[in-house]
Structure 1
Amino acid sequence: MLFRSWHSLLAALLLALSFGPSVQAQSGLIQNAAARRVLSLNGSWNYIIDPYENGFYDYRREAFDQSKSGKGGYYDNQKPSNAQEPELIEYDFDHSAALQVPGDWNSQDPKLLYYEGTIWYKRNFKLTPTAGKRYFLYFGAINYEAHIYLNGKKLGMHRGGFTPIQFEVTGKLDPSGDNFVVVKADNTRHADAVPTINTDWWNYGGITRDVFIAEAPGTFIKDYKVQLAKNDPSTLMGYVQLNGAGRAGQTVTLNIAEAGLKQTLKTDTAGRATFRFPAKKLSLWSPQNPRRYVVSLASGSDVVQDKIGFRTIQTKGQDILLNGKSTFLRGISIHDENPLIPGRARGEGDLRMLLTWAKELGCNYVRLAHYPHNEIMLRLADEMGLLVWAEVPVYWTIAWENAATYQNAEAQLSDLISMGKNRASIVVWSVGNETPLGDPRLKFMTSLVKKARSLDDTRLVAAALEVHRTPDDVMHVDDPLGEYLDLTSFNEYAGWYWGGAPSEITKYKFDIKYNKPVMISEFGGDALAGYHGDANTRWSEEYQEALYVNQLKMLGTIPGLRGMTPWILTDFRATRRQHPVYQNGFNRKGLISNTGTKKKAFYVLQEYYRQQAVKYGEK
């Protein structure tokens, strides 16, 4: 078997919801699966474009995989059995073109630039299963609806374009070692989906993150949480969960050698061992000191290691306290996209570039908008010392009264929290962005807030709210959802979408209902890099520069201002942005252009952040 370890890959992958009666229940998350013995399935996958879904439905529009035989779909990967009298087979993966995985299809084939619909992927691989071992197939993300088949048999289906997918394939691999996996990926937008039909980013389709098969013993460490107790820097707490027939009554060793901490635990009848013990020797993680410890967990023959940082985050009045000390979150918003190369960010190199730019800007904080980002990004944030706002795509208008829509949103939130629970960098779980007022929406959103708190009480919970303006030039922040959140976080676009020229926006005042830390989750305006004019020339770098200067003056009047994530680090592709001169398919609010050029506003924000770092004793 051609296995190797990926220590730089994501630390945790989540079980996502299954839908429909034909779908086999997934077997649960393996935390830190990529650090196990893995077989990479990245690389070239043959693909077939299927806008009519001929490979999924027969001519009566009945799904082949729901038929009595379960046969007939492209997932069978059929070949003619008789060269002299071949069967009628109207597809052929082996002679079809190839796409690179991970990667979206839009950026790899010009005819797929705007394509929304079904594409089939197929990959052959060699893996001879070893007796006593268990095997799990992982996809970091597939946008949006994915049906997954191994050797012609359906493993299941997943909805959600940004969370991992996992299936146990023990007993389903071919003993000969010759195997193939087929994926039906469909990025069609739906009104009852999360996100819904209308977004302001490119709807990249395909298998956009890493794919691999992980090997584990029969009984193994499936999940764990090792973190500081809520607001207590001297106490370590969490759990270890074993999976397998022999999980009850097992010994688990937790060892943090660098801190001189070692504990022996016993699992209960469900295979779970919880712990809480003093940990006074730990050096706390912060942007100034992104200290991570090698945490080793062992049970029987199974050993898992992870690099974990430890810190506390809380609010007190209008202060945000990191490790008990007041801080200002100097942030920027980021999309999961490399502006220099068309398409989704493909891996660590792309992601490290984005975070390096954020560090150069003077950031200690990033907002990963508007959906769960690649887990590699979270590990890099841990390593590089950047705090993180992590978000689910409950974006703009959702089908608030649809129970299935809520369950999908809750599943994505649960996935995100499980994926990031051991990452010191994550300090905020966000349940949505710019959602409209109304009772159904309030019920939907407060239910997500309660779910987040039930899963993790050690981090802050927020959402990007909207302001409501009155004719007296006052911006009111009074969304009833704010009552349930830890931060008063909101988006405002004075000087771009409303409010006149940049020089006029300092007239605005704020009426903020809640006595909580204020976080400006978005502000900004577009500028085409290299286009110049005066401060009133829209689309020019000078206009964006003046907008930032006056925004910072205006926001500086807010007594409880404790951070911001302006929109956005880099220009990014968005189908809504169609002006043929200034936009050409890009949202141009980036401080860095799609060619990597820093615009004039970059240096305005950089200097402001330098001053804030000095003010808060972080320089």
Structure 2
Amino acid sequence: MSGQQPRLSRRGFLAASGVALLGAAVAGSAGNAAPGPDTVHLGDFWLFGRYDDGCTEPGFDELDLSPVQLPHCVTPLSWTGWDPASWQDRWIYRRHFTGSAGERHLARFDGVMTDAEVHLNGRLVVTHHGGYLPFEVELPGVVAGDNVLAVVVDGRWALDVPPNLPRSAGPSVIDFYQPAGIYRQATIGAVPRIRLTDVFARPADVLSPGRSLHLTCTFDAPVLGQVTASVRQAGRELAHGAAPVGGKTVEFDVGGLDAVRLWDVEDPALCDVVVTVRSGPRVLDQRVVRTGFRDARFTTEGFFLNGRRLKLFGLNRHQWYPFAGGALPDRVQRRDAEILRRELNCTMVRCSHYPQSSAFLDACDELGLLVWEEIPGWGHVGDDAWQRQNLADVAGMVVRDRNHPSIVVWGTRVNEANGTTAMYQRTGRLARQLDPSRSTSGALASPTGGRYAGGDVEVLAYNDYTARRGAPFQLRPPRPGVPYLVTETIGTLAGARAYRRTDAPATRQQQAELHAKAHDLAAADDRYCGLLAWCAFDYPSGWQRAVGGVKYAGVSDIFRIPKPAAAFYASQVDPGVRAVVEPGFAWDFTDRAAGAGPGATIWSNCDRLLLFLDDRPAGEARSRRGDFPHLRYPPFAADLVVPKGRRPQLRIDGYAGGRLVLSRRFSGDRGTDVLSCVPDDPELRADGADATRVVIAARDRFGTLRAGTAGVVTLELSGPGDLVGDTTLDFGATGGAAAVWLRPFTGRPGTLTLTARHRTLGSATATVRVTSDSTRS
């Protein structure tokens, strides 16, 4: 099934929807995401359809509604050709649950695109504006027996909330589409009468022996009692502290933390802070938040992490996926962080251009991936109501995410929207009030725009598209007297209109060369704090240079499968961690590809590369250090001219420190190519909120992707789950590879088996085990 997330049969829904929800205990998240200790996830058993009169009333006829699971997108989508008209409407989600009278209940929605009304038993209890931040709602009037939670979702462009521009021509005036739906996690649960609503755990004096943790605790009602905090790392308590409380807030410090291990990109050491509030011997509430001790500074001499200079090396990320929009579960969101940190070796990611999934940020904390997070918006500032919502977004973003050690800068300006200094002074000031520990910034389209030193933000960030097609690649020099970070460059402005695996070899190679040159130039000057290129993954867009509704600017495609440009990023890692040899060419012999030729690029972190054709020596690749003098690991050039009619096997042996660390082979014979079908994860949970990607690709006999393969792949899934994706994939359009996602049903363990078939490559199978999960309803 493409687009709309797994639908349950009506019989299955009716059998399961009477389950009592408010008695299952679930551990809260490490951050500020859990409404309380007795919480259940509202992933399944929703009824969904278009808005209709009376659809929020308890007695509404639900016969025409369809059972769905969260996260959910309101419209079927493919991997390209999205139509915004298909989601620009009002929609209804209804959820029955069994409650108990006399208790306090809270629902939380992590993201609803774009506006939401929440009704309980026919009564409107809250309206929320904006699609990128969570909101909580107390549910008064929960009754014993059946209750109906009805959420009206408004996905229309005309809403006056960032980044929408209601009086513009339509959604194609901004550079990303926004499919509607309850597209992030939702929870509901019984909560204490007095509740800890927020804990801000701010490390202080991190680089001194007297480092401490400053805690700010907020309650939703006055408290008379005591708050205690235990700081733990690797399961061991390092220190604890306590303070009396006689109101709705309390601040205190926990000292004695000289032994804490600092959080770093190479050693992301995290701490749990267990905060408990008591009145006499009675525990009123408890919350666990996660943080990390690190010192991050943007200076005119570069960026410093824990006192050492670190050149920021990264990419921008959009949260959109094929088939589902943003509506894929936490495991999939986390996988993006793993790709960026472990496969592309980024030390920083920019969340463009809105706050992203908490699961993604949690993974950044765990992996050591620094984060720029920014408010929703793109290229425009709206009217007074729009600007008030913009301020609310600043507060919501900072309060939600200020415990994440990975986040080192708040983007408090609307991306590429200059000329509104007074508003940006307000947004910057608000962010610093809520979190004095981080710098503020905002990505400019003009290098001279905005007030910086002592003004609205503290780091000058520039989307540098100075270089244009046909001209040598260049970056503007840093502006004196202010920390300087390049937040975008290259895209599809400095080179081709699109970068696809189906494009000519020269186009694919050009993208890799531009990314390498950009980072080389940034590495040459310590005044650059670093460079975040555009971008990690292709994404759906109708703006400017989009081709068929997709912007092909990613170094990986929309399926998260690497293009040749990703090979540059993959090579920038110590060979002791992972040796890399990635040709910048396709070892193929067709009308469009004839091997490699003279001066072919190989991306590698090795010291030497020896070449072999059919296991006979064919010379040594030469370093391109002269072209990229400041890269840690420059590429190599290889002369691989093959006489017409030959299709030899290529072998590349990589040496580091005088020893062979990697040997790779590439087949020139398409007759031995195979179809592969490989899941990211071998096991999933049967909780209704799990999923994994399966990559289907044409590969040579040694496992290298064969981008020039055409033909249709058909897919068939068996087992207790659903296919998020198209059942036929056109390799000619996707460049020999694509992906789908598998999503198990709730409460049905078993085995998911995906079978892929191609006319000439044969068939391949992926198997994923689905296990029961008693901790989630």
TM-score normalised by L of structure 2:
0.64
Query: Residues 533-556 of structure 1, C-alpha deviation per residue, up to 9 Å, x if partnerless?
Result: 354xxxx31231232244345445
Provide the residue aligned with 1:385 in structure 2. Answer: 368
Structure 1 residues 467-486: aligned runs within 5 Å: 467=446, 477-483=447-453, 484=455, 485-486=457-458
Q: Distance in 2 between matches of 1:553 and 1:421?
A: 32
Corresponding position: 1:267 with 2:253: no
Q: Distance in 2 between matches of 1:338 and 1:10?
A: 26
Q: Tell me: CA distance 1:230–1:451, structure 2 relative to 1, closer, same or farther (3 Å).
A: farther
Provide the residue aligned with 2:154 in structure 1. Answer: 186
Provide the residue aligned with 2:136 in structure 1. Answer: 166
Provide the residue aligned with 1:530 in structure 2. Answer: 501
Provide the residue aligned with 2:126 in structure 1. Answer: 156
Structure 1 residues 410-489: aligned runs within 5 Å: 410-438=391-419, 441-467=420-446, 477-483=447-453, 484=455, 485-489=457-461
Provide the residue aligned with 2:177 in structure 1. Answer: 202
Whether the aligned pair in 2 keeps the contact of 1:318 and 1:515 (CA below 8 Å) is no
User: RCO greater where, 1 or 2, for CA within 8 Å and sep 6 or more?
Assistant: 1
Provide the residue aligned with 2:485 in structure 1. Answer: 519
Q: CA deviation at 1:445?
A: 1.6
Whether the aligned pair in 2 keeps the contact of 1:121 and 1:184 (CA below 8 Å) is yes
Which ranges of structure 1 fall in alignment gaps of 5 or more residues?
Answer: 14-31, 56-72, 80-91, 468-476
Q: CA deviation at 1:326?
A: 1.6
Q: Tell me: CA distance 1:303–1:9, structure 2 relative to 1, closer, same or farther (3 Å).
A: closer
Query: Residues 349-381 of structure 1, C-alpha deviation per residue, up to 9 Å, x if partnerless?
Result: 211221111011111211111111111222111
Task: Name the structure with the higher helix share.
Answer: 1
Q: CA deviation at 1:413?
A: 0.9
Q: Tell me: CA distance 1:365–1:355, structure 2 relative to 1, closer, same or farther (3 Å).
A: same
Q: Distance in 2 between matches of 1:235 and 1:385?
A: 21
Q: Tell me: CA distance 1:192–1:304, structure 2 relative to 1, closer, same or farther (3 Å).
A: closer
Two-structure CA RMSD over aligned residues (Å): 2.7
Corresponding position: 1:75 with 2:56: yes
Which ranges of structure 2 fall in alignment gaps of 5 or more residues?
Answer: 1-19, 166-172, 493-497, 575-604, 606-629, 634-777
Provide the residue aligned with 1:353 in structure 2. Answer: 335
Q: Tell me: CA distance 1:96–1:434, structure 2 relative to 1, closer, same or farther (3 Å).
A: closer
Q: CA deviation at 1:178?
A: 0.7
Corresponding position: 1:213 with 2:183: no
Deviates more, 1:220-229 or 1:454-463: 220-229
Provide the residue aligned with 1:47 in structure 2. Answer: 48
Provide the residue aligned with 1:510 in structure 2. Answer: 476
Match for 2:73 among 89, 94, 104? 104
Query: Residues 40-88 of structure 1, C-alpha deviation per residue, up to 9 Å, x if partnerless?
Result: 22124222324xxx53xxxxxxxxxxxxxxxxx3211435xxxxxxxxx
Q: Tell me: CA distance 1:108–1:437, structure 2 relative to 1, closer, same or farther (3 Å).
A: closer
Provide the residue aligned with 1:294 in structure 2. Answer: 272
**1:74 counterpart SS class:** coil
**1:33 counterpart SS class:** coil
Q: CA deviation at 1:155?
A: 0.5
Q: Distance in 2 between matches of 1:7 and 1:373?
A: 22
Q: Distance in 1 between matches of 2:63 and 2:336?
A: 37
**1:76 counterpart SS class:** coil
Q: Distance in 1 between matches of 2:89 and 2:69?
A: 18
Provide the residue aligned with 2:95 in structure 1. Answer: 123
Query: Residues 124-168 of structure 1, C-alpha deviation per residue, up to 9 Å, x if partnerless?
Result: 112224x4x422111111111111101111101010111111111
Q: Tell me: CA distance 1:279–1:298, structure 2 relative to 1, closer, same or farther (3 Å).
A: same
Corresponding position: 1:602 with 2:566: yes
Provide the residue aligned with 2:538 in structure 1. Answer: 571
Q: Tell me: CA distance 1:573–1:6, structure 2 relative to 1, closer, same or farther (3 Å).
A: farther
Provide the residue aligned with 2:309 in structure 1. Answer: 326
Whether the aligned pair in 1 keeps the contact of 2:522 and 2:531 (CA below 8 Å) is no
Q: Distance in 1 between matches of 2:525 and 2:306?
A: 24
Q: Tell me: CA distance 1:101–1:113, structure 2 relative to 1, closer, same or farther (3 Å).
A: farther
Query: Residues 158-212 of structure 1, C-alpha deviation per residue, up to 9 Å, x if partnerless?
Result: 101111111111x41012x211111111121237421133321112101111111
Structure 1 residues 304-319: aligned runs within 5 Å: 304-319=287-302
Q: Tell me: CA distance 1:126–1:163, structure 2 relative to 1, closer, same or farther (3 Å).
A: same
**1:443 counterpart SS class:** helix
Letter in 2 for 1:414: A
Q: CA deviation at 1:404?
A: 1.7
**2:241 counterpart SS class:** strand
Q: Tell me: CA distance 1:141–1:334, structure 2 relative to 1, closer, same or farther (3 Å).
A: same
Larger radius of gyration: 2
Corresponding position: 1:236 with 2:236: no
Q: CA deviation at 1:605?
A: 3.3
Q: CA deviation at 1:94?
A: 3.7
Q: CA deviation at 1:101?
A: 1.6
Q: CA deviation at 1:433?
A: 4.3
Q: CA deviation at 1:608?
A: 5.0
Q: Tell me: CA distance 1:309–1:549, structure 2 relative to 1, closer, same or farther (3 Å).
A: closer
Letter in 2 for 1:523: T
Q: Distance in 2 between matches of 1:231 and 1:403?
A: 40
Provide the residue aligned with 1:33 in structure 2. Answer: 35
Would you say how many aligned residue pairs link Structure 1 and Structure 2? Answer: 531
TM-score normalised by L of structure 1:
0.79
Q: Tell me: CA distance 1:114–1:564, structure 2 relative to 1, closer, same or farther (3 Å).
A: farther
Provide the residue aligned with 2:358 in structure 1. Answer: 375
**2:40 counterpart SS class:** strand
Letter in 1 for 2:98: K
Q: CA deviation at 1:577?
A: 6.5
Q: Tell me: CA distance 1:592–1:408, structure 2 relative to 1, closer, same or farther (3 Å).
A: same
Letter in 2 for 1:489: A
Q: Tell me: CA distance 1:488–1:236, structure 2 relative to 1, closer, same or farther (3 Å).
A: same
Q: Tell me: CA distance 1:273–1:489, structure 2 relative to 1, closer, same or farther (3 Å).
A: closer
Q: Tell me: CA distance 1:614–1:272, structure 2 relative to 1, closer, same or farther (3 Å).
A: same
Task: Name the structure with the higher strand share.
Answer: 2
Q: Distance in 1 between matches of 2:49 and 2:303?
A: 51
Letter in 2 for 1:235: S
Q: Tell me: CA distance 1:335–1:112, structure 2 relative to 1, closer, same or farther (3 Å).
A: closer
Deviates more, 1:594-603 or 1:510-519: 510-519
Whether the aligned pair in 2 keeps the contact of 1:429 and 1:462 (CA below 8 Å) is yes
Identity %: 20
Q: Distance in 1 between matches of 2:509 and 2:503?
A: 6
Whether the aligned pair in 2 keeps the contact of 1:266 and 1:273 (CA below 8 Å) is no
Q: Distance in 2 between matches of 1:564 and 1:576?
A: 24
Q: CA deviation at 1:578?
A: 7.7
Whether the aligned pair in 2 keeps the contact of 1:292 and 1:308 (CA below 8 Å) is yes
Q: Tell me: CA distance 1:193–1:550, structure 2 relative to 1, closer, same or farther (3 Å).
A: same
Letter in 2 for 1:239: T
Corresponding position: 1:547 with 2:514: yes
Corresponding position: 1:142 with 2:112: yes
Provide the residue aligned with 1:588 in structure 2. Answer: 552
Q: Tell me: CA distance 1:295–1:509, structure 2 relative to 1, closer, same or farther (3 Å).
A: closer
Letter in 1 for 2:218: Q
Letter in 2 for 1:115: W
Query: Residues 10-40 of structure 1, C-alpha deviation per residue, up to 9 Å, x if partnerless?
Result: 7224xxxxxxxxxxxxxxxxxx436x22122
**1:481 counterpart SS class:** coil
Q: CA deviation at 1:235?
A: 2.1
Query: Residues 488-508 of structure 1, C-alpha deviation per residue, up to 9 Å, x if partnerless?
Result: 21112245xxx232xx233x4
